[in-house]
Structure 1
Amino acid sequence: MRRPRRGRPLSDISVFLKRWGAVLALVLLILFNLAFTPHFATTQTLAINLTQVAVVMVVGVGMTLVIATGGIDLSVGSLMAIAGALSPMIFTGQLFPVPNLYVGIALGIVLPVMVAGMFGYFNGWLITRFSIQPIIATLVLFIAGRGIAQVWTNGDLQVFKVPEFQQIAIGRLLGVPFQVWIMAVIVIAATWTLRKTVFGRQVLAIGGNEAAARLAGVPVARVKTIVYVVSGVCSGIAGLIVIAMNSAADANLIGLGIELDAIAAVAVGGTLLTGGRATILGTLIGALIIQLVRYTLLANGVPDSAALIVKAGLIILAVWLQRQDRA
């Protein structure tokens, strides 16, 4: 008689970690801070962490959709700089006269986000029209985009005091910062789109097998272009949140390095970096983990640079688990 095959404990552990590892890590971080970090269980600490997560997550939503198609977007930080630099120039009347402050604020919100979306369209156009690798195509604006913002502002810091605009970051609804509400709306909309719409299924089909998707009639070029436009729009919104938080726009610093945090959040959250599978809620969990890692280290006297090492380790672990899933 053949002996029954024994279980594969290491394989079972890897499957468990793949499915629940991010949630487990988040729970452990919360429990550790509750036990050892003073003042962690306060509404102020919660608000601080959520406001920091909001910016990364808004960018992370667009990045998730891009990566789901098998792409990448390195230009998100530069598009944040473009939108953040352009907005004060509009609502302060530097570019063109505005009839009143409220019209200026409305234009200062809508137009920069549209411009960021147009640059996202440019990324998608390069990728679909000329078959340029996404990492190369978006590298163009990664380099040039911040330069554009610096040229517009002459590299100067734009300081402003416009409480009506700053409500984007400092305002509260039901005790929750507005930027967290903005993040929540974007997360819910993106989750619904990815799970319940034809467009969401097309995004995943392209990432899973682009050639097969094309043969099945999926408009690959159009869908890819749209996800880069969405990524640009999300970057523009994030740029406005940042300048509203700081009451100033600095084209040299807005969004600097955020593409790494967004990619890390996507990877840690369980979205396949090769495309074909994506989870917006997973990206939210990944963003929360990255923020809590940084907060935990700082609160316990560890230099911020250590968070970069931990972040790199999390990405390596996420990629390893993905490889185990495909093995």
Structure 2
Amino acid sequence: MSTTITETRRKSVRQLVHGHGGIVALLAILLFNMAFTPNFLQLQTLFVNISQVATIAIVAMGMTLVIATGGIDLSVGAIMALAGALAPLIFLSEFGAANPALGVTLAIALPMLVAIACGLFNGIMVAKLNVQPIIATLILFISGRGIAQVLTNGNLQTFTNPHFSYLGTGKVLGLPFQGWLAIGIAIFLYFIISRTTFGRYVLAIGGNERAAQLSGGPVALVKIGVYMICGALAGLAGLIVVAINSASDAARNGSLMELDAIAAAVVGGALLQGGRAPIFGAILGAVIIQLVKYTLLANGVQDEVALIAKAGIILVAVYVQQARKE
């Protein structure tokens, strides 16, 4: 009898971890910080974490769509660097200085178009040329940041432009603007995935690409579209980082963001084999990734250890995914 009760309890714990592991992990991190991390409940700490979470979440949502089709995108950090490098070059140019409003508009629009073009390149490589996603996106992973550094001559670009900086420092109802932006994007993408034909094809491709092809679905176009969305969101995140810092550093903007985005997507419930696109799960994953980083740094742990922790988080998330299949 006692053996049966014990086994039932173990099964209940496994079901809790497998079904709500992300929420359990988040609650554990929050409780730890409330108890042991100084100043964790201060508004300034909240604002800092929201700012950092928003950029991770925005990129992670794009990554979630890519993973949902059975792909991966290693170029998101490089696209962030490229978009972030282009923006100050535009509004700090003679034309931008002479036409402030138009300069800021172009400083947002043109980098976003370049980011979308990068996504288009990745999508064509994967969907039309049948290059493995990890290889196709590795091209921009290597070259994108190099192009950004060439554009800026490897120099840090500093600026003072309140209109552009609003992307990273503005507040709406007392909360950071980029936080609201991330929520808006999440709602929009959730609608796309759950209510549109495009969304159904995204999930179908990840679930069984061959079946999606045989049913006459536009597999190549959907894949290209997904990589373009991912590129656009990476570009937007790059602009936000530059706006927060009032400076563009092509060497550091988006550095290791591909790791954060993949970790957030997987922790949020995305299946590496494809077929699922938990958009709000990506936000949950981004919150966990950021809080782990913040917790370690706030308690005097070296930044390098955070990389090990992220790898551990991915490992646990993959284990949970495998356990769900059993």
- TM-score range, shorter-chain basis? over 0.9
User: What is aligned with 1:247?
Assistant: 246
Q: For this pair of structures, how many residues does the alignment match?
A: 322
User: What is aligned with 2:276?
Assistant: 277
User: What is aligned with 1:315?
Assistant: 314
Would you say the 8 A contact 1:204–1:275 is kept in 2?
Answer: yes
Same amino acid, percent of matched pairs = 53
Q: Within 2, Cα distance between the matches of 1:134 and 1:198?
A: 23
TM-score by length of 1: 0.94
Q: Within 2, Cα distance between the matches of 1:299 and 1:78?
A: 28
TM-score by length of 2: 0.94
Moved more, 38-47 or 264-273: 38-47
After superposition, where does 1:45-124 map in structure 2 within 5 Å?
A: 45-93=45-93, 100-124=99-123
- 3-state DSSP of counterpart to 1:278: coil
Structure 2, unaligned runs of 5 or more: none
Q: Within 1, Cα distance between the matches of 2:9 and 2:139?
A: 46
Q: Within 2, Cα distance between the matches of 1:326 and 1:207?
A: 16
Moved more, 46-55 or 298-307: 298-307
1:39 aligns with 2:39: yes
Q: CA deviation at 1:8?
A: 6.4
Would you say the 8 A contact 2:238–2:254 is kept in 1?
Answer: yes
AA matched with 1:119: C
Q: Within 2, Cα distance between the matches of 1:8 and 1:306?
A: 37
Would you say the 8 A contact 1:14–1:321 is kept in 2?
Answer: no
- 3-state DSSP of counterpart to 2:128: helix
| RMSD after superposition | 1.7
Change (3 A) 1:229 1:35: same
- 3-state DSSP of counterpart to 2:254: coil
Q: Within 1, Cα distance between the matches of 2:235 and 2:197?
A: 26
Q: CA deviation at 1:13?
A: 3.5
Q: Within 2, Cα distance between the matches of 1:97 and 1:250?
A: 20
AA matched with 2:148: A
User: What is aligned with 2:185?
Assistant: 186
Moved more, 288-297 or 201-210: 288-297
Q: Within 2, Cα distance between the matches of 1:7 and 1:137?
A: 47
Q: Within 2, Cα distance between the matches of 1:206 and 1:98?
A: 47
Question: Can you list the C-alpha shifts for 1:53-92, whole angstroms capped at 9, x where unaligned?
Answer: 1111111111000000000000001101110111111112
Q: Within 2, Cα distance between the matches of 1:45 and 1:137?
A: 39
Change (3 A) 1:272 1:143: same
Question: Can you list the C-alpha shifts for 1:295-324, whole angstroms capped at 9, x where unaligned?
Answer: 112222222222222211111111011111
